[in-house]
Chains A and B, each alone.
Chain A
């Protein structure tokens, strides 16, 4: 992985952490790669809709509900976004 790509990935992760902590009103320090989205962000069924909204508003790609099936940890979430931004 080139240093440029790594840097870009880090920027993406920072951006994700910023909008997640703002949207779901959690302390950014609680967002760690091995933490689970559902527990840390206290997501209920309605919150997944808002998760779609913030992703689309920040990265401008379409999100399908089934995309969340395999996403549990923040690292899963980062990997998913990065795969969409840098397919």
Chain B
């Protein structure tokens, strides 16, 4: 089995549009949540959202490439550009190799709605134009990035609700571990337009603490009242360790464990048993004891039921108050399809800089979170091994373990 190195990271999120900005936000505990009046006017119960500025791609891409990209594809392009640059993967090198792409994405709502609206109005499908079909498919990110960056290896999208990005990294890890690929671009992307999140708002899943946007996302806090949607994209370049060394790439980290499971129960209600199996599978795959984990980035979206079940699962597997834990969703909101990948990037930045980002807005524990070591202030800490959780609708669970590189 091959060792799997991380050689590039890219991030475009509501707490920063590149690694440097994001690292600073994580360190300062800075939130990216705003109140969006457009949502209120549209009928949302909660108008809170992460805010992500749209990139200007005219300086990077030709007309045809730009036409094909939906919003989340634009974010994914920016994140991937940054990651490929850090990995030192130039276009002429990529053209000679078999580089793959596995990316998490589970909706492309706005292009679908825009196209159907136009068809209803014009009664002529041709008038949606040439780009619509390529924007509306769930695989829009992988088909676009594979085309733009001329990737010739594995190429498909992972749709697994809020665990999509994490499973994408996990599958990329397996493709390299088993020798099927040497380099895979992995990641997750999430649209954040008001058309994309209305059905989620319908479940009353969002926080309504609208008077305090930056204080509304409060994972594990006793007074949390729901998640806050957010988006952007994150890219993690995975590479065969030996191949990376031979070409002189800087190895930033090593993926050593991937755990997964299905709850096999209710479509939206979380369980404790499902995440426990995902965590134990990841630890077994990594060959490490729970005591070796220096930091856990919890899935913890700030919903009472989700946080409570995860807190129980973490206490069961790791013991009480044994591992520092925070949920970066306290700052970013819930980046949904992207979250599993972005949280690997966030953790990697913390590992590189030797600090733990705070779980902001954690003021009072409840009976479950009281059993955990929740990081409430930025903490200096050497991280050798971290674990990141992602759990999604349908009961899909994913846990990833990454360690600091060593020779």
What is A's interface to B at a CB cutoff of 8 Å? 24-25, 44, 46-47, 49-50, 52-53, 56-57, 62
Establish whether residues A53 and B127, one from each chain, have CB atoms under 8 Å apart when the complex forms: yes
Establish whether residues A56 and B64, one from each chain, have CB atoms under 8 Å apart when the complex forms: no
Establish whether residues B63 and A25, one from each chain, have CB atoms under 8 Å apart when the complex forms: yes
Q: Is residue B380 within 8 Å, beta carbon to beta carbon, of the partner chain?
A: no
A34, chain B: closest CB distance, angstroms: 24
Establish whether residues A53 and B129, one from each chain, have CB atoms under 8 Å apart when the complex forms: yes
> Main secondary structure on chain A at its contact with chain B?
helix
Q: Is residue B268 within 8 Å, beta carbon to beta carbon, of the partner chain?
A: no
Q: How far, in angstroms, from A47 to B62 measured CA to CA in the complex?
A: 13
- Chosen A-B contacts, 24 in total, with CB atoms closer than 8 Å, are A24-B63, A25-B63, A44-B64, A46-B64, A46-B130, A46-B131, A47-B64, A47-B130, A49-B126, A49-B129, A49-B130, A50-B129, A50-B130, A50-B131, A52-B126, A52-B127, A53-B126, A53-B127, A53-B129, A56-B124, A56-B126, A56-B127, A57-B127, A62-B124
Q: For chains A and B in complex, what number of residue pairs have CB atoms within 8 angstroms?
A: 24
B111, chain A: closest CB distance, angstroms: 15
A28, chain B: closest CB distance, angstroms: 15
Q: How far, in angstroms, from A24 to B62 measured CA to CA in the complex?
A: 10
- Mask, B107-133, CB within 8 Å of A = 1, is 000000000000000001011011100
B140, chain A: closest CB distance, angstroms: 15
Chain B interface size, under 10 / 10 to 19 / 20 to 34 / 35 or more: under 10
Q: How far, in angstroms, from A50 to B132 measured CA to CA in the complex?
A: 11
Q: How far, in angstroms, from A43 to B129 measured CA to CA in the complex?
A: 14
Residues of B near A25 (CB, < 8 A) are 63
Q: A53's closest neighbor in chain B, by CB?
A: B129
A20, chain B: closest CB distance, angstroms: 12
Q: How far, in angstroms, from A47 to B130 measured CA to CA in the complex?
A: 7
Q: A46's closest neighbor in chain B, by CB?
A: B130
Q: How far, in angstroms, from A47 to B64 measured CA to CA in the complex?
A: 9
Q: How far, in angstroms, from A49 to B64 measured CA to CA in the complex?
A: 13
Q: How far, in angstroms, from A25 to B127 measured CA to CA in the complex?
A: 20
Pick from B63, B64, B127, B130 the residue with the most CB of A within 10 Å. B130
Residues of B near A46 (CB, < 8 A) are 64, 130-131
Q: How far, in angstroms, from A44 to B130 measured CA to CA in the complex?
A: 11
Q: How far, in angstroms, from A75 to B127 measured CA to CA in the complex?
A: 24
B266, chain A: closest CB distance, angstroms: 43
Q: How far, in angstroms, from A64 to B126 measured CA to CA in the complex?
A: 10
A11, chain B: closest CB distance, angstroms: 24
Q: B118's closest neighbor in chain A, by CB?
A: A53
Q: How far, in angstroms, from A50 to B131 measured CA to CA in the complex?
A: 9
Q: How far, in angstroms, from A49 to B126 measured CA to CA in the complex?
A: 7
Q: How far, in angstroms, from A52 to B63 measured CA to CA in the complex?
A: 17
- Mask, B40-65, CB within 8 Å of A = 1, is 00000000000000000000000110
- Mask, B123-159, CB within 8 Å of A = 1, is 0101101110000000000000000000000000000
Q: How far, in angstroms, from A38 to B217 measured CA to CA in the complex?
A: 53
Residues of B near A62 (CB, < 8 A) are 124
List which B312-358 residues lie within 8 A (CB) of chain A: none
Q: A24-B63, A53-B129, A56-B127 are in contact. List 17 more A-B contacts (CB 8 A).
A: A25-B63, A46-B64, A46-B130, A46-B131, A47-B130, A49-B126, A49-B129, A49-B130, A50-B130, A50-B131, A52-B127, A53-B126, A53-B127, A56-B124, A56-B126, A57-B127, A62-B124
